């Protein structure tokens, strides 16, 4: 009996004429996620079938597919001959396994007949199979409204029989929405922000600013590891590591203390924008949430946005910190994010940062010093890493 994975996809259905493009992206991403696992990925009538996965890596394949955006759910199914006796025997053995797992099992049969030449129609299959299950397992009941088990039978080139539907990440296939550049710190929020944009089909690149020797090599390694964890959802990520010490020291020597955070954030944005444009990215992404800290008030956000021309996407803008932390745990970045290595933002924090910066004042303070040579030097010394999830450790 051959085991296959039946993959259902989500919003791709809505994309009309673009649908083949979205489907192809999804298939490419599925193949990439299954690297090292022998499998054939086939598309047929709004479904994707993955066949030929050997039993020892079947669960591993499911775990990887749960991270592929664009997949709504997966059902592990038996693909058997369409011969009715085989269909019945397979369906009964599936129910038998479930009966062993729980008492008072309820079920409903869902038949779909794509092969219109099959000798029985969907209603007939529903009725016949339902009857045979009840006859064989007296403790089992039909529940047409809320069955515990949906016994599904699809008659196509073969009969596909399954009873389980594993929910997946949903979203859109990475690569279907263009490219954007994530400002990634070592904190909790920015990896979650990257996750949400990748979920909408964005290909990510990432920029990290570090201030050696104020920040350590371990802080840098932590960011590389966070990027690696993110790449298990987002695919390969190019990570730019920008040396920021000289610029930060110049800000603190030359600008009013209470404005240093906003000016530092503006310069981060400017450098990120230059890198983003050179990379073909159309937007920046940050992990900011409104009101979370002094630099995330509406006034501060306006003052930082003013430094760049391309859009700044802030997928967490309306999130509470608790909810962001829950997501970080869920996607597996939390434990790394809370490692206690300092970020360059936290090294030079002013005692009394301005919470309502006046844009004209900030512009004037920033213009009082010429940062342009330092910006050029920082970009010149930027190191680019290609971070892949398949690397055991990308550092």
Residues near ligand ATP (CB under 6 A) are: 183-185, 187-190, 207-209, 268, 286-288, 292-293, 295, 343-345
Stretch that binds Mg ion, among 158-166, 255-263, 270-278, 337-345 (CB under 5 A): 337-345
Out of 187, 191, 201, 357, point to the residue binding Mg ion (CB under 5 A). 187
**Could you tell me if 267 and 247 are in contact, meaning their C-beta atoms sit under 8 angstroms apart?**
yes
Nearer to ligand ATP, 105 or 269 (CB): 269
Backbone angles phi, psi at 181, to 5 degrees: -115, 120
Number of separate helices (H) and strands (E) present in the chain: 14, 15
Q: Is 185 in the site for Mg ion (CB under 5 A)?
A: yes
Minimum Å distance from CB 269 to ligand ATP? 9
Asked whether the CA dihedral 204, 198, 306, 241 is positive or negative, the reply is negative
Query: Residue length, the chain?
Result: 395
Q: Find the largest Cα–Cα distance for the chain.
A: 86
Stretch that binds Mg ion, among 78-86, 182-190, 232-240, 246-254 (CB under 5 A): 182-190
Nearer to ligand ATP, 173 or 243 (CB): 243
What does 344 bind: ligand ATP, Mg ion, none (CB cut-off 5 to 8 Å by kind)?
ligand ATP
**Residues 338, 336: Cα–Cα separation, whole Å:** 6
Nearer to ligand ATP, 149 or 263 (CB): 263
- Enumerate residues 6+ apart whose C-beta is below 8 A from 94: 78, 151, 161, 162, 163
Element (H, E) at 258: none
**Residues 285, 193: Cα–Cα separation, whole Å:** 7
With CB under 5 A as the rule, give the number of residues binding Mg ion: 3
Stretch that binds Mg ion, among 62-70, 144-152, 185-193, 297-305 (CB under 5 A): 185-193
Would you call 15 exposed, middle or buried from its count of C-beta atoms within 10 A (0-12, 13-18, 19+)? middle
Ranked by CB distance to Mg ion, the top (closest) residue is 187
Minimum Å distance from CB 343 to Mg ion? 5
Nearer to ligand ATP, 168 or 301 (CB): 301
Applying CB under 5 A, the residues found at the interface with Mg ion are 185, 187, 343
């Amino acid at each position: 009996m051959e085991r296959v994975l039946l993959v259902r996809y989500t919003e791709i259905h809505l994309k009309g004429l673009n649908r083949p493009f979205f489907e192809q992206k999804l298939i490419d991403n599925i193949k990439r996620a299954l690297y090292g696992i022998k499998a054939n990925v086939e598309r047929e009538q709004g479904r994707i079938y993955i066949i030929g996965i050997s039993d020892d890596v079947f669960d591993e394949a499911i775990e990887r597919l749960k991270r592929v955006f664009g997949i709504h759910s997966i059902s592990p199914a038996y693909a058997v001959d369409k011969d009715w006796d085989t269909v019945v025997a397979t369906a009964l053995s599936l129910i038998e396994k479930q009966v062993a797992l729980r008492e008072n099992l309820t079920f409903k049969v869902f038949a779909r007949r794509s092969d219109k030449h099959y000798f029985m129609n969907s209603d007939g299959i529903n009725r016949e199979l339902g009857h045979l299950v009840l006859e064989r397992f007296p403790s089992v009941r039909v529940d047409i409204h809320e069955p515990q088990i949906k016994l599904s039978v699809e008659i196509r080139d073969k009969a596909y029989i399954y009873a389980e539907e594993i929910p997946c990440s949903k979203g859109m296939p990475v690569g279907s929405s263009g490219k954007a550049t994530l400002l990634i710190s070592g904190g909790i929020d920015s990896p979650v922000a990257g996750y949400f944009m990748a979920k909408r089909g964005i290909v990510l690149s990432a920029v990290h600013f570090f201030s050696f020797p104020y920040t350590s090599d371990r802080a840098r390694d932590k960011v590389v590891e966070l990027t690696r964890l993110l790449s298990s959802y987002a695919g390969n990520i190019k990570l730019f590591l920008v040396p920021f010490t000289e610029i930060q020291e110049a800000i603190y020597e030359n600008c009013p203390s209470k404005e240093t955070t906003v000016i530092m954030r503006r310069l981060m944005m400017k450098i990120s924008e230059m890198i983003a444009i050179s990379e073909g990215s159309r937007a920046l992404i940050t992990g900011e949430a409104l009101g979370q800290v002094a630099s995330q008030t509406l006034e501060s956000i306006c003052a930082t946005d003013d430094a760049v021309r391309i859009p700044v996407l802030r997928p967490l803008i309306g999130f509470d910190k608790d909810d962001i932390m829950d997501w970080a745990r869920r996607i597996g970045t939390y434990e790394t994010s809370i490692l206690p290595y300092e970020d360059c933002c936290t090294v030079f924090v002013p005692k009394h940062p301005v919470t309502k910066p006046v844009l004209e004042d900030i512009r004037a303070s920033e213009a009082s010093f010429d940062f342009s040579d330092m910006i050029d030097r920082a970009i010149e010394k930027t190191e680019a890493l290609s971070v892949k999830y398949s690397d055991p450790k990308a550092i």
